[in-house]
Amino acid sequence: MANTASPAEEYFAEANSYYEKGEFEDASEMYKKAVNEGIENPILYYNYANSLFRTEQLGLSILYYEKALKLAPHDPDILANLKFARAHTVDKNEEPEQNILTKFLWYLHSGYSLNMALWIFLLGFSLIFALLILNLYMGSGVKIFSFSIIGLIALLLIIWSPSVIIRIKSQETARYAIVLSKSLDIYSGPGDNYQALAKVHEGTKFEIETITQDWAKVKLPTGKGGYVLASELGKI
Amino acid sequence: MEGGITSNQVEVGESFQLKITVSDEKQISNLPWPDVKGLEPFSVSKNTGTSSSSQTTIINGRVSQSKTYVTEFAYTLTAKEPGQYNIGPITYVYKDYSRNLGSVTVTVNKAVSGLELQPRLNKKSVYVGEQIKYSLRIIPKSSVQQIRPPNFQKEIGKTFFMVQLQEEVKPKTVEIDGNPVRVFDIEFALFPLLYDNVKFPSYSLEYDEVIAQRSRRNSVFDDFFGIGGKVVQKTAFTQPLSLSVKPLPPGQPEGFSGAVGSYSLNASVDKTQLKSGDALTLTVIIEGDGQPKAITNPILPELEQFEVFAPEVSSSTRIENGIYISKKTFKYVLVPSRKGNYTLSPLQFHFFDANSESYKTLSSPSFEINVAKGKEIQSGQSRLLNQKNIEELGSDIRHIKKLSTALENSAPNLYKMPWYWILYILGPFCYILLLIYKLREEKLESDSGLRRKVQAKGIAKKRLAEARKAMAGEDSRNFYKTLSASLERFASDKLNKELRGLTLEDALQELKSKGLSEENLNAYKEIMEECDMGQFASAQKDLNKWQNLLGKTENLINNIDKHV
């Protein structure tokens, strides 16, 4: 029987075997080849990030953990390794601690994948019409009951819809990047002739607001912002 | 074309201008800059501008007017070192025009006035993260009015974590060669971020100096009004310095956080005797002259019988004998879960001692804790155990994953799929369809006339099928009977009239009143009469005739359905 594995799969398998043997440089090269084949897969990104971390390319490894997380937002392995890699950065740009209420609200907003949210939304919407159809042939007693269920579902969907819309919008518009160079200055304007405001280090995550030529206007989770050389960043 | 300099005797740091003007009768935009050799010893800033002048001349009564456009190329030059410099040759080439303006000699004297700058590093070679001090002493002459130092954060902050050691630079008086001299000292504590050979280049400080200018030589007013002066903007340069930054040697102990310098550790507990469930506070203070960020949480020993809460961390800095010292205090709350005598093993903090060039470990003393029986803590009611967090971060990354399926692109976002949005239409569409059907059913239920009208054609079709069957069976009587019954029933349904008692004449009259054409009325009459004849007279079996009659009836039913 002919071997039907794609080149990307062959690179991936070879990289895994190098990694198992502790030959991380070679593993990293092979994962890179698989990535260059244009495959967007969270496991590929995760393994590549592991090999980058092992070869002390912290910025790139965080970038690929983030890329993997974007495709599989709740994968516990990706989350654990990203947290571990972040603990090795010079800058501790961790997001502020949340209280129980904000944690709960945050979970309601993003504690599940966007696709799952969209399926639940469609299911709720279809359920409303299924109950309306049922009502056409039901007696008044059942009607009152099913109308209250319809009202409840509709209310939940109305309350929940901004969360889903925000997630779709942020998926489309929000752009994040990771510092790939050892250190990077943040300037007050797009050029090194402006005042240097702060210095950040490899692995720090930025939100990109705009990119004009060589300079990117960025914002740190702490709220601090400015301009940095776009070539020193890796876009997630 | 002309050229010249504003002064050929200047001091180091004093600015002067080299001006070259090009005149022409025509205005030419974007004239090229002249080619000037020998500008290397100077710091140069360039400026250009164009002006015009008009001249009217009268010769022998003839008036003529001419206009000249003058473009000036100005070079503002500042010499960095004393010496005699030759600026030139200065050549100008524009299309076919070329000219050599020759050269000019400038003598740069050592600055006898202005600022004296003394930059200094307290060490020539350091390790990454080790503190060094960069100090700049500025000794201004009395004629200096304003000093503008460079942005050191921008210049030095690229390679160092830096802290300015004074909040405000104030003048102070020191004794130099037995004389009191007013000086300004700017000092920075620097912590190298990367190992390399670091150059501190020549930094420039701009300042204003009042140059004496006697307006009236030996005037009697000189003493009274003082000496006139003009303010000149000058630049002073620091001497460049270099520093060697070495990497830390191998053999870093586990848990080493990058602290380089000299450090001290103090630990204490607020009580040594308590009941289980009560809290004791372990306070650890670490201070040293390394980079402030390098002081991280000390390594706690195994504390199995204690719940350890996340430490409360406070930090402060101070300057002691010109050295920047950072201090961090960690307060751990420990809650023993069971009674017993426990020993808190020493806590550790590792740092690299730059003086002895070795890694050292600071340890706290051990504490004996006597825990009496008190409130029992149920297992599972554990409150945020800090050690668990440390374990998580201190462990290794999780291993790579294997694929259970083929390596392919992950599922695309649902909202980008058109079919996902089409599914939303399905529910409302089905609902609307069923609603319309239900309303129609209800209407037919309540209006029997309408129901008969709507169902008439269906019934007629069934009857015609029966007639066709009778025709196939060559049952003449049944054929004519079924055919006439189907037409009659159809007419009575459409007209909402009782079938019984609806004579041919009544039917024709009613159909006529509903607007049925004469032709169709005749056809109705003919079919009914033929059927009567066929039923009661024993007609011959003529299948073609029956076929025609059946077709005619079908057409008529269709026509009545359309018009009535």
Q: What is the pLDDT of residues B208-248, one digit of tens each?
A: 887 765 444 444 444 444 445 677 777 888 888 888 888 88
Over residues A39-44, mean pLDDT: 90
At residue A3, the pLDDT reads 53
Residue of A nearest to B161 (CA): A199
CA distance B124 to B133: 11
Mark yes or no for CB contact B408/A39 under 8 Å: yes
At residue A1, the pLDDT reads 40
Categorize the per-residue pLDDT at A174 as very low, low, confident or very high, splitting at 50, 70 and 90. low
Give tens-digit pLDDT for B512-546.
888 888 888 899 989 988 888 887 766 567 788 88
Give tens-digit pLDDT for B379-395.
433 344 433 443 444 46
- Of A32, A105, A101, A114, nearest in space to A73 by CA: A114
Q: What are phi and psi of B153, to 5 degrees?
A: -55, -40
Could you tell me whether strands B367-372 and B197-200 are parallel, antiparallel, or unpaired per DSSP bridges? unpaired
Token pair belonging to B315? 């930090």
Out of B151, B396, B410, the one facing A41 most closely (by C-beta) is B410
Q: Which residue, among A53, A82, A84, A103, would best test binding to B if mutated, counting the most B CBs under 10 Å from its CB?
A: A84
CA distance B451 to B444: 5
Over residues B330-342, mean pLDDT: 85
DSSP symbol at B260: B
Token pair belonging to B538? 């024993």
Q: What are phi and psi of A147, to 5 degrees?
A: -65, -35
Give tens-digit pLDDT for B400-426.
888 877 888 777 788 888 999 999 999
User: Long-range contacts: B409-412, Cβ < 8 Å, 24+?
Assistant: B409/A39, B409/A40, B409/A41, B410/A40, B410/A41, B410/A42, B410/A71, B410/A72, B411/A115
Q: What is the pTM of this model?
A: 0.41
Start-to-end CA distance of chain A, whole Å, equals 40
* ipTM score over 0.90, yes or no: no
Over residues A206-211, mean pLDDT: 85
At residue A43, the pLDDT reads 93
At residue B222, the pLDDT reads 44
Residue B1 has pLDDT above 80, yes or no: no
Q: Which residue, among B163, B398, B432, B436, would best test binding to A if mutated, counting the most A CBs under 10 Å from its CB?
A: B398
Mean pLDDT of chain B: 82
CA distance A4 to chain B (A): 10
At residue B223, the pLDDT reads 43
At residue B320, the pLDDT reads 87
Give tens-digit pLDDT for A4-13.
678 888 999 9
CB B323 within 8 A of CB B289: yes
Alpha-carbon distances of B29 from A115, B48, B49, B507, rounded to whole Å: 63, 12, 11, 104
Determine which helix (DSSP H) or strand (DSSP E) holds B35, and give its type and residue range: strand B35-36
Greatest pairwise CA separation for chain A in angstroms: 78
Residue B182 has pLDDT above 50, yes or no: yes
Q: Is B371 exposed, middle or buried (0-12, 13-18, 19+ CB in 10 A)?
A: buried
List B332's β-bridge partners, or say none: B282
At residue B376, the pLDDT reads 55
Mark yes or no for CB contact A43/B403 under 8 Å: yes
Backbone torsion region of residue B278, taken as left when φ is above 0, otherwise alpha when ψ lies between -120 and 50, otherwise beta: beta
Lowest mean pLDDT among A86-100, B37-51, B94-108, B125-139: A86-100
Over residues A148-172, mean pLDDT: 89
Name chain B contacts of A185, Cβ cutoff 8 Å.
157-158
Lowest mean pLDDT among A6-20, A88-102, B335-349, B533-547: A88-102
Highest mean pLDDT among B160-169, B333-342, B479-488: B479-488
Cis preceding-peptide flag for B149 (omega within 30 of 0): no
Alpha-carbon distances of B263 from B160, B163, B198, rounded to whole Å: 20, 19, 26
Categorize the per-residue pLDDT at B365 as very low, low, confident or very high, splitting at 50, 70 and 90. confident
Q: Which comes out higher in pLDDT, residue B287 or B66?
A: B287
Mark yes or no for CB contact B194/A118 under 8 Å: no
Out of B193, B410, B435, the one facing A136 most closely (by C-beta) is B435
CA distance A94 to chain B (A): 14
DSSP B491-505: HHHHHT--STT--HH
Out of B151, B397, B426, the one facing A50 most closely (by C-beta) is B397
Backbone torsion region of residue B218, taken as left when φ is above 0, otherwise alpha when ψ lies between -120 and 50, otherwise beta: left
Over residues B479-506, mean pLDDT: 85
